[in-house]
Copies of this chain bind each other. A is one copy, B any other.
């Protein structure tokens, strides 16, 4: 049962090293072949070194290769992971900073909102290139496992235009279960949970213990929890207004809807600065930047730290390795996956990418029908889905009229800006990210011209001052070094998921 796993964007150290470990923890998969690929030879090399050391230390017969030639890495692959971030932190910076000039204050900015929409514009054409390569050189039934954000839009494009099998994965649901279990005072394993919606707006519509529904108790428990009532104010407010708890972190939640971040002087009432993920302006950008700098500086230490251990206890919670295990061994796995709706959530559109519970075994990935979402939850999701659909079409076709409509329809942007501002923000974003948007070449030239003319005429609107309502300074490596013990855990996991999981797990 030898399988080949290709990892694109393998320079993403946290994801790649964990992915290799998680798969090699499965006895039947110990002879797997990993083909790592990245556009950065240096990062690829560092990650490969770390993984090879782990493999050797665990004495498994796995094979690992690393190449910047993507098609070579994809050849005959059974599974392909994407961890790429198109444009890296440089582009990400503009996802946050340009909208801020128009008053749109994002915390994460990689899923929806102007940041997420632009991120999709950069990423979708690249992912469709991966799909084409997979169609051409990978195994016929190769499964593409997408981790690249914005999850829903990226997976949507691959499902609709990629011509391959795709599943989008996120660990978001797990964290919320830990919180709820903590509040109920029971182990998470004892809860039967149905969580459904779209990635990052998924709702715990049923939480049962021994057959008894617990949802009605949650608001009171959250409000009374001294810690969570402080850190999860937006999530709790959504629970209050809509009756169901939602998966996403407080910071994320606050940026997807029009209610919590439109008035600069109220933002701090809804967020918590203890962790970037609870609402800090550009928080994820800050922590990613710090993490990257730290890793580049700290790599020698990593090579001297003890290697990872491939044991069941150390295995992570990302769904990917469990899906592969289920498909290859037939052992059933239940998780929450991102797939084309196709009637699963009966009051969301069929073409949307939903996140819903599924079962995997030797027969494939099966997604039972969930039925209707509660009306309010469905409405919140539908607003995002409309934006996603338009943004996907924009990215695929390079049609900036659609891109502008996606921005206009974003709930937070629509609550903050008027139409001329939105269109100018679009121009600003296109020009700032020109190097990663080859699809929009012609429109970017026109946008630049328009911007220059508006500035000259004194009509430039991107004039909001300051760094946003809740911004923290990015710490330098030397600052971080001073307090290494305190920061290390966070820095080791220079990825959002791990940070969030760490937060969520506190209650565990």
Residues of A whose CB lies within 8 Å of any CB of B are 1, 192-194, 206, 208, 210-211, 237, 240-243, 257-260, 262-263, 266, 327-328, 330, 332, 334, 342-344, 347, 349, 357-359, 361-363, 365-369, 375-376, 378-380, 382-383, 386-387, 389-390, 393, 401-402, 404-405, 408-409, 411, 414-415, 417-419, 423
Contact partners of A243 in chain B: CB under 8 A: 401
From the candidates B1, B259, B361, B419, name the one contacting A418 in the complex (CB within 8 A).
Answer: B259
Is there contact, CB below 8 Å, between B361 and A342? no
Contact partners of A257 in chain B: CB under 8 A: 414
Is there contact, CB below 8 Å, between A359 and B349? no
Could you show 22 A-B contacts with beta carbons less than 8 Å apart? A192-B362, A208-B363, A211-B328, A211-B362, A241-B404, A241-B419, A243-B401, A258-B258, A259-B408, A332-B359, A359-B359, A365-B368, A366-B368, A366-B369, A367-B368, A375-B393, A375-B405, A379-B387, A379-B390, A379-B405, A382-B383, A383-B409
Given the interface pairs A332-B334, A368-B358, A419-B237, the reply to whether A409 lies near B376 with Cβ below 8 Å is yes
A361 to B358 Cα, complex, angstroms: 12
Contact partners of A363 in chain B: CB under 8 A: 192-194, 206, 208, 357
Is there contact, CB below 8 Å, between A414 and B379? no
From the candidates B242, B347, B380, name the one contacting A349 in the complex (CB within 8 A).
Answer: B347
Is there contact, CB below 8 Å, between B402 and A262? no
From the candidates B378, B386, B389, name the one contacting A383 in the complex (CB within 8 A).
Answer: B386
| Copies of the polypeptide in the assembly | 4
A411 to B383 Cα, complex, angstroms: 10
Is there contact, CB below 8 Å, between A415 and B368? no
Is there contact, CB below 8 Å, between B390 and A376? yes
Interface of A, helix, strand, loop or mixed by DSSP: mixed
- Residue ID in chain B nearest A260 by CB atoms: B418
Given the interface pairs A343-B342, A361-B192, A418-B266, the reply to whether A378 lies near B386 with Cβ below 8 Å is yes
Contact partners of A405 in chain B: CB under 8 A: 241-242, 375-376, 379
A257 to B414 Cα, complex, angstroms: 9
Contact partners of A419 in chain B: CB under 8 A: 237, 240-241, 259
In the complex, what's the smallest C-beta–C-beta distance from A271 to chain B, in angstroms?
A: 14
In the complex, what's the smallest C-beta–C-beta distance from A370 to chain B, in angstroms?
A: 9
Is there contact, CB below 8 Å, between A263 and B383? no
Contact partners of A344 in chain B: CB under 8 A: 369
A461 to B390 Cα, complex, angstroms: 37
Q: Which of A347, A378, A379 has the most CB of B within 10 A?
A: A379
- Residue ID in chain B nearest A402 by CB atoms: B375
Contact partners of A357 in chain B: CB under 8 A: 363, 366
In the complex, what's the smallest C-beta–C-beta distance from A419 to chain B, in angstroms?
A: 5
A363 to B361 Cα, complex, angstroms: 18
From the candidates B404, B411, B415, name the one contacting A262 in the complex (CB within 8 A).
Answer: B415
A383 to B343 Cα, complex, angstroms: 20
Known: A258-B415, A259-B419, A366-B369. 17 other contacts (CB 8 A): A237-B419, A243-B401, A258-B414, A259-B408, A259-B418, A260-B418, A263-B418, A334-B359, A343-B369, A358-B368, A375-B402, A376-B402, A379-B387, A379-B405, A382-B383, A411-B414, A415-B415
In the complex, what's the smallest C-beta–C-beta distance from A401 to chain B, in angstroms?
A: 7
A208 to B344 Cα, complex, angstroms: 26
Contact partners of A414 in chain B: CB under 8 A: 257-259, 411, 415
A332 to B331 Cα, complex, angstroms: 10
